[in-house]
Structure 1
Amino acid sequence: MSNRRTLEALLERHGTTYAAEAGIRLRDTPQPLYQLLVLSHLLSARIRAQVAVAAARALFSHRLRTPRRMADATWQERVDVLGEGGYRRYDERTATQLGDGGRLLLDEYGGDLRRLRRKADGDTDTLRAGLRRFPGIGPAGADIFLREIQTVWPEVSPYLDAKALQGAERLGLPTTPDRLIRLAKGGDPAVLAAALVRGALDKG
């Protein structure tokens, strides 16, 4: 199978971003940007992606969609909702981190991650460092956020991190971002990144 056909098959099977799977209508506005930060936090733990997505959906369905609502919720409320979403292994620590992260976003950026974007001024390393200041957002969480946001924040693109490139290698595809983007023929880089990550994780 040619590289192009392999990529087409991958995108047909796995061509959905994690944000879309979690019900986030990603735009450059405060609420969906915050929801993506929460999802990136949940996905970065050593837990199945489906569980992290389900936990994010549970949080959002309980109206914990903004840093203010997250910070104002009690610790027990956050624990209970995470448990409802099946996120039980790390629920207590994560509940604390989500509350602290909501307060940090409010205090430092007025609840608006676009202020972090403006502060980074197009520098991805500065943006990554800013994301890592949030409790629970380590290197993996920052990578997840940047992979998913690149359609909305085009200065980040192409953002294909080590996990995405691992998926490309596993499938025999080129392992440099520029070649993968060319192979995708102008498709959404966030969708490409998510598909490659799923290719790395899918045991089938």
Structure 2
Amino acid sequence: MMPAHTPKDAALKISKVLNEFGRSPLHGTELADPRSLKPRPEIVLAMALDALIKARPISHELTQKTIKVLIEAGYHDINVLSETTWEDRTMVLQDGGYNRYREQGATNLGELAKLVVERYDGDLNNLLKLADGKPHKARILLKEIRGMGDLAVEVFFNNVQSIWPSFAPSIDSRSLKTADEIGIGTDVDEIYNALEQDPMRMSWFANGLSEVRLERRQDVIEEL
């Protein structure tokens, strides 16, 4: 049984995760610069694309490559995405190495474009308004997106809290398990306080925990 963590120990580990493994939302794409992370329609749509891709059980490398290719193709622009054909989307996903799920993925992206245009007037920020800024209401609305299950919603929350502050603090369930394993614990509010209640830092930290898990670097944090 892991010994109980002390607030001081947890704070040191939180700092190490943030500084050594923390990642910007949309890391690895041209949109990752914190200066560009504003609640613009294309940024929110990019985060939805990111969540849909990352929720599938494929390698970390392939998800990163696929997201990068989707952004390079301009699919985070609802006008561009809306004008694509199923064949277009299939080829772009294939270019990203997203072969196992490319046909279903192409269908889901088409349905996403249709929903965003018809229900949210081309801007997923309108989902935030419809949800009254409340995560539990947004979760219900997000799950109307084809392919957006519980895990995808959690991944979306990890990132979108950086531009929708009312969604902070958010940490996906897989990363919260990692936080517990390395001695930080599972009190999300306590973690948020340690990060000075900064939504952007919370997003970087949540993504950092994902990196720790995916790179199997738990031992680096545990030994502090």
TM-score class, shorter-chain normalisation, is over 0.9
After the TM superposition, which residues 70-89 of structure 1 pair with which residues of structure 2 at under 5 Å, given as runs? 70-89=81-100
User: What per-residue deviation string (whole Å, max 9, x for no partner) do you get for residues 44-95 of structure 1?
Assistant: 1111233112111112212222223223211111111111111111111101
- Partner Cα separation in structure 2 for residue 121 and residue 143 of structure 1: 18
SS in 1 for 2:27: helix
Q: Percent identity?
A: 24
Asked if 1:123 corresponds to 2:151, the answer is no
Larger RCO: 1 or 2 (CA < 8 Å, sep 6+): 2
- Partner Cα separation in structure 1 for residue 203 and residue 174 of structure 2: 13
- Indicate conservation of the 8 Å contact 1:168/1:196, yes or no: yes
- Partner Cα separation in structure 1 for residue 17 and residue 130 of structure 2: 36
Asked if 1:7 corresponds to 2:14, the answer is yes
Counterpart amino acid of residue 143 in structure 1: E
Counterpart amino acid of residue 22 in structure 2: G
Distance 1:186 1:155, change over 3 A: closer
TM-score (norm 2): 0.84
User: What per-residue deviation string (whole Å, max 9, x for no partner) do you get for residues 67-124 of structure 1?
Assistant: 2322321111111111111111111110111011111110111110111101111221
SS in 1 for 2:133: coil
How big is the shift at 1:186? 4.4
The match for 1:93 is 104
User: What per-residue deviation string (whole Å, max 9, x for no partner) do you get for residues 5-58 of structure 1?
Assistant: 322222232111341333324311111111111111111111123311211111
The match for 1:19 is 26
Aligned residues: 204
Larger radius of gyration: 2
Deviating more after overlay: 7-16 vs 128-137: 7-16
The match for 1:132 is 143
Measured on the aligned residues, the alpha-carbon RMSD in Å equals 1.7
Asked if 1:193 corresponds to 2:200, the answer is no
- Partner Cα separation in structure 2 for residue 61 and residue 197 of structure 1: 24
User: What per-residue deviation string (whole Å, max 9, x for no partner) do you get for residues 104-152 of structure 1?
Assistant: 1101111101111011112211101111111111111111111111121
**Which 5+ residue runs of structure 1 have no aligned equivalent?**
none
The match for 1:167 is 178
- Partner Cα separation in structure 1 for residue 73 and residue 177 of structure 2: 35
User: Which residue, 86, 108, 119 being the options, matches 2:119?
Assistant: 108
**Which 5+ residue runs of structure 2 have no aligned equivalent?**
1-7, 218-224
- Indicate conservation of the 8 Å contact 1:164/1:200, yes or no: yes
- Partner Cα separation in structure 2 for residue 19 and residue 68 of structure 1: 20
The match for 1:182 is 193
User: What per-residue deviation string (whole Å, max 9, x for no partner) do you get for residues 138-188 of structure 1?
Assistant: 111111111111121111111123222111012111211011122334451
